[in-house]
């Protein structure tokens, strides 16, 4: 029985995660809801079950690169609800975008057991600037690009002029105000958060005053942390209110506050005690209207309860410990099922993955072995964890650390825009961290869906399926003359070679086709065609698998080559040039993964190596002399094949699928015209073979010695194009100085990146010992460890050591 793609997807997810989506236990909820609001949590649960969220995190080896270096990274794939490793997609798409959102580097990274490793050779022609690395899966393309992983990196081209050296850090500012819940209503006191950044997206500390229309001061405010702050404000009229801000430069700017509405809904979160959280809803003039409070975390429903407004006020009491760790969304619905207020709340995770990293010594001479002990905390339950480790030299260029996996999965992946120093909100013990976190929640409000999609009666339709078994190549079939989509047309895709790999697809109502490939690595030539004897008027186009839409609200930091960094630029330039001169060949060593050596149809029923038999001058003689499974018939239009149906002890009436180096041949005369001396083997499948929705009445497969089609002419209507498959893993090279001869080598070793290992695993009890060697470059180095356990615990740690030149 053939399963639909959605059913296959559902079974694959259940098998991969072990989670079963349970129906909403609404016994306590239903009693607190009016009939008009009962369906909202039910529809939310239905939407959640149909829209599994994936998250990707990339551990990049460094935050700053020079043109000509290699960027290394590891991909972690998790489910968006519980942050557990999710072995759903087998391909991740990684891109490096410039400031104009143009992809300068792209790669398809194979995923296995929810992880993958990849690299990019940065071209020496890349200009200096800030770039954005983004990553996503085919399934994630069904949702907003804001869901993709994004991280900013700096690439410096020291061989090309980058313009005027910057001496000023900023020239313009962005000021935004965010009323709690979304609205200001006249006569109701509200908390208003604000955010101030410069043109590079960096936070700016300010002080300010709120003025009424007559210029009279009403209240004052100032930033608390990272350009964020908040104040209480009660608008009395619909007149405009202005905030006057004093910037660090002494400049004063004015900005209008959001308009105050004469009526509406206001939501406020209060924490009178550590174990209590009150949600207050105020809506004067709305009588005894029922309102619904719905709380969800990463699309998992936590609370659904309603109250009736009394004197324009309703209050909900919650226990914060019953909320999920991470970000929860609080949404208030009115009696017409309209979301009228919304805000975020953050509960710090109590049990991160506790990692420790320690070197065996604090200081090392050059060309000396370093031993790093990596372990999980003693309180951790034994659970395998997948880790990645990078060791690089610290300088002023790389002073800003890369994002950690824990801050991304718990915080920034569920927030819009850029968050400055996200680890602060997870690790700080300062007294003001709670207020700073609340300011962050108020200024970065965002959810991963639209309520219109949740509440609509129809379930969402998805254009992109998860790549469960391999890369999906998508395209379209159209009529050559009218350019209209052609439905129900079978297309065939193959890569000519000695190993037959054939995929087929039957076009849908819009002419869309989709080929599932396996073991498709590196640049390959693909041939896509329909059967010209049946479908001679069609054109096939193959689409790019990369997303053509981009996130909003993300601004890469402005690249500023400050004069004070000149010495560090010079040093990195020398390091890169020396490394590329003496070690470039080692950076181009790849480790092709093992692939299945069988053809797509498996073991044939008959196999003939032509060198084992008498060589004949024509293919017709070969088939007639010692291939009993294939019957050759000569008719008016040329040769025709039929194949024995051995299971039924008969002969197929339909022609078989004929292949030459994996390419379908629909004109048997072309196969018969091949030179037998170019053919190495012939395989025959003398039974029916089903591939997707297509059935073949046997298969006859010719393989040439060189896998180059042996001079077979292709149909002029076939599409032939170069296509980049999955990225072949690159091997990281680091010299070893474990012999006197190696230590005395005169080759200079000025590596900035000493070590990169994306495949470290721990069992939760036994530590891992990693070893590498220092180079000739003195300085301070950092060891960065990122990891994710099988139970969904994310963690990161780092340690430093010094390398000193011998006296």
Q: How confident is the model over 758-776, as pLDDT tens digits?
A: 999 988 667 899 999 999 9
Reported as a pLDDT band with limits 50, 70 and 90, residue 162 is low
Least confident of 31-45, 178-192, 212-226: 31-45
Q: How confident is the model over 251-266, as pLDDT tens digits?
A: 899 999 999 999 999 9
Per-residue pLDDT at 724: 97
Q: Locate 505 and state its tokens.
A: 């697809």
Per-residue pLDDT at 6: 45
Reported as a pLDDT band with limits 50, 70 and 90, residue 204 is very high
Average pLDDT over the chain reads 89
CA dist 720 and 748 (Å) reads: 47
Q: Locate 717 and state its tokens.
A: 């209507």
Least Cα distance to 179 among 259, 294, 271 occurs for 259
Question: What average pLDDT does this structure show over 790-801?
Answer: 94
Spatial strand order of the sheet with 472-479 comes to 512-516, 472-479, 538-542
Per-residue pLDDT at 76: 98
Per-residue pLDDT at 764: 65
Reported as a pLDDT band with limits 50, 70 and 90, residue 163 is very low
- Would you tell me how many other CB atoms lie within 10 Å of the CB of residue 466? 25
Q: How confident is the model over 555-574, as pLDDT tens digits?
A: 666 666 656 667 777 778 88
Question: What average pLDDT does this structure show over 652-656?
Answer: 95
CA dist 728 and 725 (Å) reads: 9
Question: What average pLDDT does this structure show over 786-802?
Answer: 94
Q: How confident is the model over 434-443, as pLDDT tens digits?
A: 999 999 999 9
Residue 510 reports pLDDT greater than 90: yes
Question: What average pLDDT does this structure show over 531-541?
Answer: 88
- Would you tell me how many other CB atoms lie within 10 Å of the CB of residue 393? 23
Terminal-to-terminal C-alpha distance of the chain: 75
Q: How confident is the model over 67-85, as pLDDT tens digits?
A: 999 999 999 999 999 999 9
CA dist 124 and 160 (Å) reads: 10
Residue linked to tokens 């300085």: 779
Residue 31 reports pLDDT greater than 80: no
Question: What average pLDDT does this structure show over 532-560?
Answer: 84
Reported as a pLDDT band with limits 50, 70 and 90, residue 360 is very high
């Amino acid at each position: 029985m053939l399963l639909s793609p959605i059913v296959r997807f559902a079974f694959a997810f259940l098998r991969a995660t072990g989670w079963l989506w349970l129906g909403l236990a609404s016994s306590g909820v239903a009693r607190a809801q009016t009939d008009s609001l009962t369906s909202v949590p039910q529809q939310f649960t239905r939407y959640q079950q149909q829209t599994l969220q994936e998250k990707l995190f990339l551990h990049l080896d460094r935050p700053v690169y020079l043109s000509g270096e290699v960027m290394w990274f590891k991909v972690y794939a998790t489910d968006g609800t519980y942050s557990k490793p999710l072995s759903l997609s087998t391909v991740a798409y990684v891109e490096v975008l410039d400031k104009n959102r143009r992809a300068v580097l792209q790669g398809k990274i194979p995923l296995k057991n929810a992880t993958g490793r990849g690299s990019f050779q940065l071209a020496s022609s890349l200009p200096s600037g800030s770039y954005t690395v983004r990553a996503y899966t085919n399934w994630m393309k069904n949702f907003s690009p804001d869901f993709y992983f994004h991280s900013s990196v700096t690439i410096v081209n020291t061989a090309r002029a980058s313009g005027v050296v910057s001496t000023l850090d900023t020239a313009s500012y962005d000021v935004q105000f965010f009323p709690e819940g979304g609205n200001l209503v006249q006569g109701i006191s509200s908390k208003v958060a604000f955010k101030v950044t410069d043109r590079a997206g960096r936070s700016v500390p300010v002080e300010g005053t709120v003025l009424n229309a007559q210029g009279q001061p009403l209240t004052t405010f100032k930033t608390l942390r990272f350009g964020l702050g908040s104040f209480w404000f009660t608008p009395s009229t619909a007149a405009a209110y202005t905030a006057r801000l004093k910037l660090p430069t002494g400049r004063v700017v004015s900005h209008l506050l959001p308009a105050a509405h004469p009526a509406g809904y206001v939501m406020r979160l209060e924490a009178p005690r550590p174990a209590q959280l009150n949600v207050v809803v105020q809506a004067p003039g709305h009588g005894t209207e029922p309102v619904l409070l719905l709380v969800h975390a990463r699309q998992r429903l936590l609370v659904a309860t309603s109250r009736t407004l009394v004197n324009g006020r309703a209050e909900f009491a919650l226990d914060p410990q019953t909320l999920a760790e991470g970000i929860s969304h609080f949404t208030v619905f009115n009696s017409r099922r309209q979301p009228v207020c919304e805000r975020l709340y953050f509960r710090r995770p109590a049990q991160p993955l506790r990692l420790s990293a320690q070197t065996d010594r604090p200081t090392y001479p050059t060309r000396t072995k370093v031993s790093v002990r990596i372990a999980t905390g003693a309180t951790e339950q034994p659970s395998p964890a997948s880790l990645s480790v990078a060791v690089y030299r610290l300088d002023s260029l790389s002073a800003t650390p890369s994002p950690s996996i824990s801050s991304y999965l718990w915080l920034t992946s569920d927030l819009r825009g850029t968050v400055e120093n996200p680890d602060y909100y997870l690790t700080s013990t300062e007294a003001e961290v709670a207020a700073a976190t609340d300011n962050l929640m108020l200024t970065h409000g965002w959810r991963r869906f639209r309520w219109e999609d949740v509440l609509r009666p129809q379930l969402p339709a998805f254009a992109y399926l998860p790549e469960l078994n391999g890369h999906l190549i998508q395209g379209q079939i159209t009529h050559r003359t009218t350019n209209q989509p052609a439905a129900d047309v079978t297309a065939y895709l193959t890569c000519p070679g000695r190993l037959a790999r054939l995929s087929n697809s039957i076009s849908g109502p819009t002419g869309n086709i989709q080929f599932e490939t396996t073991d498709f690595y590196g640049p390959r030539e693909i041939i896509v065609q329909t059967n010209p004897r049946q479908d001679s008027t069609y054109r096939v186009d193959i689409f790019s698998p990369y997303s053509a839409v981009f996130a909003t609200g993300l601004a890469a930091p402005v690249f500023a080559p400050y004069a004070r960094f000149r010495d560090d630029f010079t040093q990195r330039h020398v390091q890169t040039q020396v490394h590329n001169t003496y070690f470039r060949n080692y950076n181009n060593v790849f480790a092709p993964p093992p692939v299945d050596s069988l053809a797509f149809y498996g073991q044939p029923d008959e196999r003939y190596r032509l060198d084992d038999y008498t060589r004949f001058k024509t293919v017709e003689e070969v088939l007639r002399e010692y291939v009993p499974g294939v019957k050759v018939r000569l008719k008016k239009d040329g040769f025709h094949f039929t194949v024995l149906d051995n299971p039924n002890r008969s002969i197929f009436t339909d022609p078989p699928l004929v292949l030459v180096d994996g390419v379908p041949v629909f004109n048997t005369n072309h196969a018969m015209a091949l030179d037998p001396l170019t053919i190495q083997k012939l395989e025959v499948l003398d039974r029916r073979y089903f591939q997707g929705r297509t059935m073949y009445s046997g298969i006859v497969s010719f393989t040439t010695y060189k896998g180059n089609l042996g001079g077979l002419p292709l149909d002029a209507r076939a599409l032939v194009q170069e296509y980049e498959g999955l990225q072949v893993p690159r091997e990281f090279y680091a010299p070893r100085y474990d012999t006197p001869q190696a230590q005395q080598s005169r080759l200079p070793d000025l590596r900035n990146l000493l070590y990169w290992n994306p495949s470290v695993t721990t069992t939760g009890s036994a530590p891992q010992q990693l070893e590498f060697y220092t180079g000739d470059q003195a300085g301070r180095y950092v060891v960065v460890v990122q990891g994710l356990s099988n139970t969904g615990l994310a963690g990161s740690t780092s340690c430093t050591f010094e390398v000193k030149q011998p006296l």
